[in-house]
Amino acid sequence: MDAVTLPTIGELRATARVVSLPLVTRFRGVDHREAILLEGPEGWTEFSPFLEYDDAESSTWLAAAIDFGWNPQPAPLRDEVFVNATVPAVAAHEVPALLSRFEGCRTAKVKVAERGQSLADDIARVRAVRAAMGAEGRVRIDANAGWNVDEAERAAHALAEFDLEYIEQPCATIDELSELRERIADWDLPIAADESVRKATDPLAVARAGAADLIVVKAQPLGGVARARTIVADAGLPAVVSSALDTSVGLSMGLALAASLPDLPYDCGLGTASLLAADVTRAPLLPQGGVLPVGRVTVDSELLRERSASPDRTAWWLARLERCRALLQPED
């Protein structure tokens, strides 16, 4: 990032607001989503790396937040983006009520390979999603690198009856993805890479290895809209823009990325505000007719106060902000 545009820690702290938003169902092992919201010259932005991420990885998320809040963004090529429903690793009987929160979505992404659950749980959940979506709906699954190659092949076979759109990050390593892709080459089941892009030191390695058919890109983990756009262009693969369970502010960053891409062949994973029981705006980015509007989000000061994190969590996040800012560029 250009040093001229990098705000000081004092400038960041001046507008920083730490919030804790309850979820409608447990997701990634948490019941609340915490985030720092910052207001820059271009508008509100978000810094919300997951709690378990170290400072080095989290600093990339801060670079994205600064870029979105302090720098102009690419001109949008579309004013709305089709999004998918996201189904956490819930029991099958909970699926219909959860999907009802994603109005008009024609695609659903289903979490599988949850620690402590079985393939039978995954099958039941995906079956319930397929029943709710109907034959015309699109169903994709996301294993978050939870399987080895044999487990992934077995699961893909067991779930084949549900006509999957693709399988996201079934295995952890590029070698495993390559082997699985070879094994299922005749199945017409594309493999999408997520962690192999956003958590990799070389986000293009998976594309060079021919280990995936498409990539999943997220603006915050990749360092911002501009860097994510470059990765998509250099990878030469179809891209799905997704979120990291952001507030509506963070989702607006993802929408800016999705709106700027010349080709957007898949519905994007940006409808996750539907998994929040509260937000920071009076007009949360909830799917209507399966789409979200592109544009900046107006944050509501009263909601910021209502959803403020506890003093100890606020102190924790502000200390994290300061450490990550120092990693981006030490101040004199």
User: Which residue, 217, 229, 225, is CA-closest to 169?
Assistant: 217
In the set 198, 218, 307, 320, the catalytic residue is 218
Long-range contacts of 28-36 (CB under 8 A, 24+ apart): 28/245, 33/245, 33/247, 33/276, 34/309, 34/313, 34/317, 35/246, 35/247, 35/249, 35/250, 36/65, 36/317, 36/318, 36/321
In the set 17, 33, 101, 111, the catalytic residue is 111
Question: What CATH number does residue 10 fall under?
Answer: 3.30.390.10
Residues 196 and 52 in one domain: no
> With b meaning 16 or more CB within 10 Å and e meaning fewer, what string describes 226-241?
bbbbebbeebebbbbb
pLDDT at 32: 95
DSSP state of 202: S
Q: How many domains does the chain have?
A: 2
157: its two tokens: 């076979």
Residues 131 and 270 in one domain: yes
235: its two tokens: 């990878």
151: its two tokens: 């487990």
pLDDT at 3: 46
Strands 43-47 and 30-40: antiparallel
Residues 99 and 175 in one domain: yes
Q: Report yes or no: 171 and 148 within 8 Å, Cβ to Cβ.
A: yes
Residues 139 and 237 in one domain: yes
331: its two tokens: 């101040």
Residues 147 and 35 in one domain: no
251: its two tokens: 């989702």
Domain range holding 21?
3-73+301-328
Residues 246 and 204 in one domain: yes
For the annotated binding site for Mg(2+), the residues are: 142, 168, 194
pLDDT digit string (tens) for the chain, length 332 residues: 444 569 999 999 999 999 999 999 888 778 999 999 999 999 999 999 999 999 999 999 999 999 999 999 999 999 999 999 999 999 999 999 999 999 999 999 999 999 999 999 999 999 999 999 999 999 999 999 999 999 999 999 999 999 999 999 999 999 999 999 999 999 999 999 999 999 999 999 999 999 999 999 999 999 999 999 999 999 999 999 999 899 999 999 999 999 999 999 999 999 999 999 999 999 999 999 999 999 999 999 999 999 999 999 999 999 999 999 999 988 76
Residues 61 and 96 in one domain: no
218 annotated active-site: yes
Residues 127 and 273 in one domain: yes
Which pTM does this prediction carry?
A: 0.95
Residues 277 and 306 in one domain: no
Q: Report yes or no: 268 and 78 within 8 Å, Cβ to Cβ.
A: no
Residues 24 and 103 in one domain: no
Alpha carbons 8 and 24: distance in angstroms, whole number: 36
